[in-house]
């Protein structure tokens, strides 16, 4: 039996939920985003009216305001969005127990064994109507034989629409689409594809596999499989715990980072947050990653693998600063940076010691870190700070550990 996979995408989710609570703004251009004054200002969601002004998810709030001066900007209420997301997923469970979230507002649903209730399209249409009548928001649903094309289908037509992609119509629907529409073709990958005269998903599908692997490595093989409809990963059972893959924080700074001295202040705050969250969950990590975004909103990540796993603030920040120093030359000013750690293991697990590392010194640092954690937990985050942060309170006065946003785990 051929699989039938749905991908449900709640339209302008955050903005749609906010409009339920504020009927007076339903007919106005509405976006949900961060604090403009603190420059945590990117568009997280927009309603259909804002979309008419060519406002895009992920762009800066100040840019959106230039396009639409009377834009209504609402700061996010994640507890509210989680509640509405749970309401929608409760509806999904009536059709399948194979439900795999892709963020708070998207999910794949395998309805192969629910087809007694109708075709994939009929189930998708019923889902849309139920979400609209029972929850009060709209959704777009893609129907296909694999997860990649199901997600592509939910993106093709919005809002409140169903798109069916089958093996017989996939070339007609999918191949003419811009290559950037394919999952995991980001800006950098897309620019590289253009230089190789690959412009559409069909171009990727018809490209020589060896050629793609030569230019993109293993990722090139994934792109070729995705474009040709050969992706076959299963939809995970509802509630399956995939485990924490990484822990990290990033921030858009109140002002541009002009040099390494500015960057170092913010890096210490982020590294302390990452370390505290590791210790709180009894985890250690081995691979440190940093993300960098300049004032033109170009961004990239770099990483380094340590000799052994750690949850020590000093090790995290020193490795991160090394990565920043080696990769920010000529890029200042910077708008935002991030630090994360992956290759996680439980802190109680036995680890291989290194002859080239002073483990006694590291244990002393960890004792200090734990003491700081305890003081902050008991008396508040701002009760104890590093001296470097006080050199510019404008940059260092934030608490990423409590303010962090959890973003969806990547497809892989």
Is 412 exposed, middle or buried (CB count within 10 Å of its CB: 0-12, 13-18, 19+)? exposed
CA–CA separation, 188 vs 300, rounded Å? 9
Our CA dihedral for 367, 263, 301, 368, rounded to 10 degrees, sits at 0
With H, G, I as helix, E, B as strand and everything else as coil, classify residue 170.
helix
Q: At what angle do helices 359-379 and 260-280 cross, to 10 degrees?
A: 80
Does residue 228 contact residue 240 with C-beta atoms inside 8 Å? no
Give the CB-side neighbour count of residue 262, counting CA atoms within 13 A: 17
Q: What is the DSSP string of 288-340?
A: EEEEEEETT--EEEEEEEEEEEE--HHHHHHHHHHHHHHH-TTT-SEEEEEEE
Q: Active site residue: 106, 221, 363, 365, which one?
A: 106
How many Cβ atoms are within 10 Å of 105's Cβ, its own excluded? 23
Identify whether 181 is a catalytic site residue: no
Report the 10 Å Cβ neighbour count for 169. 10
How far apart are the C-alpha atoms of 322 and 167, rounded to whole Å? 49
Residue ranges with strand state E in 87-161: 99-101, 106-110, 139-144
Cα–Cα distance for residue pair 29/184, rounded to 1 Å: 29
Tokens 């069909």 label which residue? 202
Which phi and psi angles does 256 have, rounded to 5°? -65, 140
Write b or e for each residue in 234-268: b if 16 or more Cβ atoms lie within 10 A of its Cβ, otherwise e.
ebeebeeeeeeeebbbbbbbbeebeeeebbbbbbb
Structure tokens at 345: 């293991």
CB-based contacts of 59, cutoff 8 Å, min separation 6: 42, 43, 297
Active site residues: 106
């Amino acid at each position: 039996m051929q699989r039938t996979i749905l991908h449900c995408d709640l339209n302008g989710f955050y903005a749609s939920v906010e409009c339920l609570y504020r009927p007076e703004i339903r007919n106005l251009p509405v976006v949900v985003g961060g604090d403009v004054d603190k420059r945590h200002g990117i568009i997280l969601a927009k309603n259909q009216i804002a979309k008419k002004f060519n406002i895009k998810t992920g762009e800066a709030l100040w840019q959106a305001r230039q396009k639409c001066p009377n834009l209504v900007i609402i700061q996010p209420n994640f507890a509210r969005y989680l509640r509405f997301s749970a309401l929608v997923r409760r509806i999904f469970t009536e059709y399948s127990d194979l439900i795999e979230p892709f963020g708070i507002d998207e999910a794949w649903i395998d309805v192969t064994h629910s087809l007694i209730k109708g075709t994939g399209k009929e189930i998708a249409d019923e889902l849309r109507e139920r979400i609209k009548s029972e929850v009060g928001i709209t959704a777009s649903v893609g129907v296909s034989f694999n997860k990649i094309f199901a997600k592509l289908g939910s993106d093709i037509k919005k809002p409140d629409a169903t798109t069916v992609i089958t093996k017989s119509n996939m070339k007609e629907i999918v191949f003419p689409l811009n290559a950037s529409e394919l999952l995991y073709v980001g800006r950098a990958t897309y620019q590289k594809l253009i230089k190789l005269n690959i412009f559409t998903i069909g171009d990727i599908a018809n490209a020589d596999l060896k050629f793609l692997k030569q230019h993109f490595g293993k990722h090139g093989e994934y792109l070729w499989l995705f474009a040709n409809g050969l992706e076959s990963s299963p939809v995970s059972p509802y509630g399956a715990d995939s485990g924490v893959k990484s822990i990290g924080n990033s921030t858009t700074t109140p002002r541009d980072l002009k040099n390494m001295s500015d960057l170092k202040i913010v890096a210490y705050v982020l590294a302390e947050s990452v370390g505290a969250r590791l210790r709180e969950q009894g985890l250690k990590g081995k691979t440190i990653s940093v993300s960098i975004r300049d004032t033109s909103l170009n961004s990239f990540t770099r990483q380094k693998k340590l000799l052994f796993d750690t949850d020590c603030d000093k090790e995290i920040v020193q490795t991160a600063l090394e990565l920043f120093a080696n990769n920010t030359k000529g890029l200042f000013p910077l708008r935002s940076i991030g630090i994360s750690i992956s290759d996680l293991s439980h802190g109680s697990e036995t680890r291989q010691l290194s002859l080239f590392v002073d483990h006694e010194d590291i244990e002393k640092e960890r004792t200090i870190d734990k003491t700081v954690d305890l003081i902050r937990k008991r008396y508040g985050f701002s009760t104890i700070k590093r001296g470097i942060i006080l050199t510019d309170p404008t940059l260092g006065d934030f608490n990423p550990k409590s303010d962090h946003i959890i973003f969806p785990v990547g497809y892989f």
